[in-house]
Amino acid sequence: MDRFRLGLVGIGKIARDQHLPAVARNDRFTLAAIASRHGQVDGVPNYPDTAAMIAGTELDAVSFCTPPEGRYELARIAIEAGKHVMLEKPPAATLSEIEALADFARSRNVTLFTSWHSREAAGVGPARNWLSRREIKAVRIHWREDIRRWHPGQEWILAAGGFGVFDPGINALSIATAILPAPLFVEAATMDVPAGRAGPLAAELQLRCGGAKGYASFDFLQTGPQTWDIEVDTDAGTLRLSLGGSVLQLPGEAECTEPDQEYPRLYARFAELLATGGSDVDLRPMRLVADAFLLAERRETEAFAF
């Protein structure tokens, strides 16, 4: 079986923690080159930018781990060169950008994969199957983590186009849109934005799923144990997903827990798309974030420093 020659763009925390180990464990990929101004990978050619990497190394596909701001231009370079593309979430800074990339990828007959890693958590698939046969009564999302732990010194995340607390919050929305049997809508929202910043550190959303009400609470300042929980009340009891979807508890049953395999599963999915010539572009989580920004009451809070 042929291996796909992969280029990786952006060697930051997420690439080192998740992408590099997942690629190394997948026998369908060979890491052929990287493009990074600040990172190196031993034994792999390093280029200063995407264009130089594509010009200097034979590649089949490119995986982008850069911040969403500016990613459209980089991904377009790869697609224009006929390379298949995988995008870390969020896939781009705006909906218009990712829709344009999807159209461009179709016109060039290359694969585009907008990856949502949290959907690959062990409990998500079983939760979707169970909920498909239930009537939804209510949805509650609590997604709270420590920005200084997961994004140390990453000023871009609170800048315009950086998503703020929706960078992790979109993970919750990616799970919710995957498991709920009816569309999810934002009806109202509030955002707490620190003075001098563009992105929020906290947000609350009022949601609707069919005839059921929902609520989401996102917080980027939670220290100690982190909270990544979704609860769905149904006509058969309450389903609970915790630890980012890795722990599933169905009504009357014991918790079901499996080890983290999110990024290995993403790259397995990317390899499948490359083998079949398909694309996977799901914009529902990003649309909900865009709707939240359109509807939200913005409240200025005290200044924040890393």
Tell me 280's DSSP state: B
Structure tokens at 47: 């280029």
Write the single-letter amino acid at 6.
Answer: L
Residue 299 has pLDDT above 70, yes or no: yes
Residue 147 has pLDDT above 90, yes or no: yes
- The C-alpha atoms of residue 67 and residue 87 are separated, in whole angstroms, by 10
Q: What is the pLDDT, as a whole number, of residue 38?
A: 81
Active-site choice (13, 89, 137, 213) = 89
Instruction: Give catalytic status of residue 89 as yes or no.
Output: yes
Predicted confidence band at 258 (pLDDT cuts at 50, 70, 90)? Answer: confident
Residue 82 has pLDDT above 70, yes or no: yes
Q: What is the pLDDT, as a whole number, of residue 37?
A: 86
Q: What is the pLDDT, as a whole number, of residue 1?
A: 61
Question: Ramachandran region of residue 204, left (φ > 0), alpha (ψ -120 to 50) or beta?
Answer: beta
Average pLDDT, the chain: 96
Let me know: does 34 contact 17? Beta carbons within 8 Å. Answer: no
Let me know: does 83 contact 55? Beta carbons within 8 Å. Answer: no
Predicted confidence band at 39 (pLDDT cuts at 50, 70, 90)? Answer: confident
**Contacts by residues 264-267 (CB-CB < 8 Å, ≥ 24 positions apart):** 264/22, 264/25, 264/26, 265/120, 266/22, 266/86, 266/115, 266/117, 266/120, 267/22, 267/23, 267/26, 267/28, 267/29
